[in-house]
Chain A
């Protein structure tokens, strides 16, 4: 019996939820006031709901179909899985996107698909949805399209014209991992596609010589996802792989997805599952690399085994391993060093820099800057405050370590 739209929506959102990205920020600013159409992107992403897994729901994240000719071991939609299959027509996805958007449930669409027939056929279907939204329906909301690495260049070109963001998942941090767990995918080809996207994205940022106008190609950049805990890669390997992707292909984001139980899992998957906290620590480390001036090696060398601490965050772990760098004087220290203080961040540091031009800061000044004084106190000096020398304290780790309650989730 034919499945209703609602039944297929259920199947194809179940199939899409293992893609972590739901970002709708960082694209060009635009709205519908001149066109009289529908939709806007005004810089900041908006999460229209949160599921009880704590994840932001910003986009209608669905698969066009979960039929797939690939057999990636970790994937819920692999060809050998017995999950229920379904597919949408391009028109149905267009309709759902617009109706959801009008009710302000979403910022736009994140469309992906299992590979059916061929890479070009699949990519063509994805592009058609984006093209219809933009050209037939005057839709100016956010569109993220999954890119099929093997698809023809003109299809990628068109995808970039309509989409805000394109993404290709690297899936696993090492080439051996990809070969072992995603036998139909080819790491070299994935990287070549990322490189092609990166060149097109950079080129589109420059006005062309002839028309002086910028071409449009994925103004929200490209992102990727790595699954954590399927192969044996350490956090150092994972983060090293991210740095490589960030620097070579100028990715906007690398998403980490702690592999979690899926319906009808393959027996080839490892039995032990990574704690969700590991994924969280990887995101924190990724942040330290991108916004806090840390080298990945500084963060991952704290432990001999190349993994991050689970019970304390990587910045604190680095501070405790480098106690001789503290205390930091909030009234004199350079911005770079302030950013390395556990408890200070990219919002409080500029406030400190601004305020200290006018007065010498005390702990109660920091409190008014919404800094958690009890967290930073052991690491800083301020007017009227100097801490015990860190090297003399043995209880610091216990002071900050959180109860690792997340570990029990997978029992």
Chain B
């Protein structure tokens, strides 16, 4: 049994190097124990076993491109079993070349479930990051910061989206699972946990006004809202604390609209109609 510890913070290369060595040494999935190695101290006092030397009898491994795409997403998941799952898939795909096109296979299904979770997590990050402005512009560039709490290690793979979109401003996205920063020239990534910035942005007040007034109290559908914007995200959304009162007042506001008698039009209405 070979025991390996990986930092596992969304870096595919770390896993790929270890997996390639194991595969070339002919080590089967049942003979590896993958662990998450925490920074600073080895939690269990266990040292990594050295990687075995390649077995000349084992042919150089190849993988379909679809495997790498899948692995690139799955490695970002927080599930501690992801390393072993990917290695099992890698091992099997050497013999079963069509494996990835069998979505009903338990290993493939599991990997696709994790991939889907990563896609959703990244999509929600693109949706729910909220930038707040940090003071005055510096060197003509405005500066913003955001705090976000993703479920998985997705900051790296999502940072390009923010770079391509918010190109003309400086920004930093800080999360407990790493950070990304852009200054107009370089995208800087870190997988270290960040501290939560403490910022107030006056424009949030206008956004809250918009959120309040774009809501139609005559069509309350709380379940539909919550399935798309689960409560775990609310604490970092400047508009979310308005929601309970909007829900509580909706019924009365709708009643009022229904019960209200039709009013008489103002003079300008008559003037316009006379012109017709």
* A contact residues vs B (CB 8 Å cutoff): 5-6, 9-11, 13-14, 16-18, 31-33, 35-40, 42, 44, 46-57, 60-62, 69, 71, 79-82, 96, 99-100, 102-105, 138, 184, 258, 260-267, 276, 351, 354-355, 357-359, 361, 365-366, 368-370, 409-410
Contacts and interface: CB of A to CB of B under 8 A. Distances in A.
Interface string B92-121: 000000100111111001000100000000
B223 A261 contact: no
B205 interface: yes
Interface residues of B, number: 75
A261 B165 CA distance: 39
For chain A, what secondary structure do more than half of its interface residues adopt (helix, strand, loop), or is it mixed? Answer: loop
B109 A369 contact: yes
B98 A10 contact: no
Nearest to A22: B214
Nearest to A260: B218
B168 A38 contact: yes
A14 B219 CA distance: 14
B163 interface: yes
21 contacts: A5-B206, A9-B209, A13-B209, A33-B163, A38-B169, A42-B161, A51-B225, A52-B250, A54-B228, A79-B272, A79-B273, A82-B264, A96-B206, A100-B210, A102-B144, A260-B218, A261-B258, A264-B262, A357-B101, A358-B102, A366-B104
A291 B225 CA distance: 25
Pick the 6 closest A-B CB pairs, nearest first: A54-B224, A54-B221, A31-B164, A365-B104, A80-B265, A267-B262
B126 interface: yes
* Majority DSSP secondary structure for residues of B touching A: helix
Contacts of A62: 210
B268 interface: yes
A103 B167 contact: no
Contact of B103 (A32, A81, A354): A354
B211 A49 contact: yes
Nearest to B146: A104
Given A10-B213, A53-B216, A265-B262, A355 B165 contact: no
A46 B127 contact: yes
Given A103-B130, A354-B101, A40 B214 contact: no
